Chain A
Amino acid sequence: MGRMTTDLVLDQPLRPLMELVAVSLVVRGTVAIDRVGCGFDATSITGVIGLDPDDNERPTGRAALRDLVTGHALPNSGTLRFGGLRIDRLGPSARVRLGILAMRRRQLLTTGSVRDMLLAARLLVSRPTLRLVLDSGARSSEEDARDIDAILDFVEIDGLAERPVASLGGLEARLAELARCLAQRPRLLLLEHPFARLGAADREQLARLLVRLRKAALAIVVIDDDLATLGRVADRCLVFDRGRLIADATPAAIGASSRVYRLLTGSEL
């Protein structure tokens, strides 16, 4: 029996948790993603950077990649797999239930306390929607409540649990939003510009947290322009230019590539 199991594992090539195969996306006549193939592994942090990210006339393709991952955009061609399951046509809410969560730049819901938000977010993935729609008295279980306390503790915002979400700002808001994602039992966590407009100490705290999260078998995808921080936390980086994936390598390899370095920084290595 044990041999069979070993054979099965050996017969199956190791696959990333999420895999994009020759994916293309056209938005308003513009090729936003051009035959991109890449994967996001569990227990790894993948940085996503783009050339000329401030040029709105020439999108790098990172926003398109984000929407392809979350399901807010469906590919025109190619396939997306998550845990071996094809998810090309799945919408955002179904992907959230599968464990594909996105944390964006600023905070999420603005009503109630941080704990309320987390409990409500947990309810969304732990109860059938129809029950939630027809049950005004839906309450979280004690197990959920304990989980939320553990998440608040893990993210180191247990002191903010009773604070109104609307009163949070800066790092606090980002950590609360990250905690919301964790409350929804993520398997893949996409973070959009998590380090933007944070001071050095806050960036460091968030980076340490991401490294701890990686150990929890999460696939973490970080879209950001902070190359220095990404270089320290990411296991590998994807570099996008006008919808094309031009590099997929470790930060060290990308840093050592004179061509990519020149394209990214505008100066010679």
Chain B
Amino acid sequence: MRMAPLLTALAPFLLLPALLAGLGHPAAPAFAGYAAGLFLLAVAALLAIGIARLPVFCLGGFAAAGAGLMPLLTLDLEWPTAAALAVTPLLGAGLGGLVRLSIRGLDAVVAAALLLALLLGLASLPAMTTEPGQTGPALDLDGWLLLPLGVTAALLLAARRFADSVIVRLHEAAVLARLPADGIGLELGTLRAVALVLAASIATLGGGVLALGPATMVGIDPADWVALSLALFAIGRLGGGRLGAALLAALPLALLPKLTVALAPQFVDLTLAAALVAIVLQLLVRADGSPAWQPPAPTLGGSLGQSRLGEQRWAE
């Protein structure tokens, strides 16, 4: 993983909250939480969509599940906020595993429809556990804080090991060369299962972070999470397997809505607008960063790329 582009892409996520805090803006803590949540969601999109190339439209649903779980644990069960945040990835891991099992072997269109239905179901969870106008649970700066920090660090470390693994690098090379990766022994099922479970865990954690207070909890409306899912899909595609690119693609979400949500509660509309911008960008720019209106760069991939009988013309 090259660090310079990554740090460049990460800078806005670090500098903007610092800038707001430096200016003494009251929305600074909320924005810091939002930036951290968005960073986690971009990582999740990178894993599931950018690297594993899964048609996962429901990452926003996983985030919604995390956001919906937080008030349930902290308000109803009176858990410490940090402990609640630390267990959200478990829900994500379970959901990710179930999703992987349920879409395994399904036709892409059927899988996408199933995931869309799951997204709609999960997106309504925050509305079921949170009252409109309710403030999110605040994260206290005490010993419990180490728990979610440790879980986050472990998940990000696992994500990094996954992204840098031999099998992912070979998969990426095969995709770029338009070769069927399984023809050289890449077991795509395992790769996709790990990617989905990791992505769902991180997305659920990201959703939990988005639900943190002390500001009014945002994203109670299911439409928010559906829009976020679409945006994450575009972010994953734009990222093309590079975290730096995924973070840059997530910048519109970071810059447009939350900077202004501190000034005006237009979050929903702006999120939708940002999602649409991202989708249009996705149509205009390929995953490798080249413009869609130019011919694709030549690859040196061989005839393995034509090997699937159902996808090739009858040429021998």
- Interface of A with B (CB < 8 Å)? 25, 27-28, 32, 50, 53, 56-57, 59-60, 62-64, 66-67, 70-73, 91-94, 96-97, 102, 104-111, 120-121, 123-125, 129-130, 132-136, 138, 165-166, 177, 180, 184, 192-193, 223
Binds A, one of B57-65, B119-127, B160-168, B260-268: B160-168
**In the A-B complex, the 6 residue pairs with the closest CB atoms:** A106-B302, A96-B185, A136-B164, A124-B185, A92-B182, A105-B303
Residues of A within 8 A of B186 (CB): 93, 124
Q: Which of A53, A73, A130 meets B316, CB within 8 Å? A: A53
Residues of B within 8 A of A28 (CB): 310
Q: Which of B161, B166, B310, B315 meets A120, CB within 8 Å? A: B166
Residue count of chain B within 8 Å CB distance of chain A: 43
Per the bound structure, the CA–CA distance linking A136 and B313 in Å amounts to: 38
Looking at chain B's contact residues, is the secondary structure mostly helix, strand, loop, or mixed? helix
B residues 93-138 near A (Cβ < 8 Å) are: none
15 interchain pairs, CB-CB under 8 A = A60-B316, A67-B307, A70-B307, A93-B185, A93-B187, A96-B183, A102-B304, A104-B302, A111-B173, A129-B187, A133-B162, A134-B165, A135-B161, A136-B160, A166-B300
Give, as a whole number of angstroms, the nearest-CB distance from B198 to chain A: 9
Per the bound structure, the CA–CA distance linking A24 and B9 in Å amounts to: 53
Nearest residue (CB) in A for B165 is A136
* Contact digits for B156-187, partner A, Cβ 8 Å, 1 yes 0 no: 00101111111111100110110110111111
* A64 and B184 form a contact (CB under 8 A): no
Residues of B within 8 A of A223 (CB): 316
* A132 and B167 form a contact (CB under 8 A): yes
* Contact digits for B233-267, partner A, Cβ 8 Å, 1 yes 0 no: 00000000000000000000000000000000000
B293 within 8 A of A: no
* B182 and A62 form a contact (CB under 8 A): no
* A110 and B158 form a contact (CB under 8 A): no
Nearest residue (CB) in A for B185 is A96
* A109 and B179 form a contact (CB under 8 A): yes
* B168 and A72 form a contact (CB under 8 A): no
Residues of B within 8 A of A64 (CB): 309
Per the bound structure, the CA–CA distance linking A105 and B164 in Å amounts to: 30
* A63 and B314 form a contact (CB under 8 A): yes
Please indicate which of the listed interface residues B182, B314, B315 has the most CB atoms of chain A within 10 Å of its own CB: B314
Contact A63 B309, CB 8 Å, known A97-B185, A105-B303: yes
Give, as a whole number of angstroms, the nearest-CB distance from B158 to chain A: 7
Residues of A within 8 A of B167 (CB): 124, 129, 132-133
* A108 and B304 form a contact (CB under 8 A): yes
Give, as a whole number of angstroms, the nearest-CB distance from A165 to chain B: 8
Give, as a whole number of angstroms, the nearest-CB distance from A179 to chain B: 13
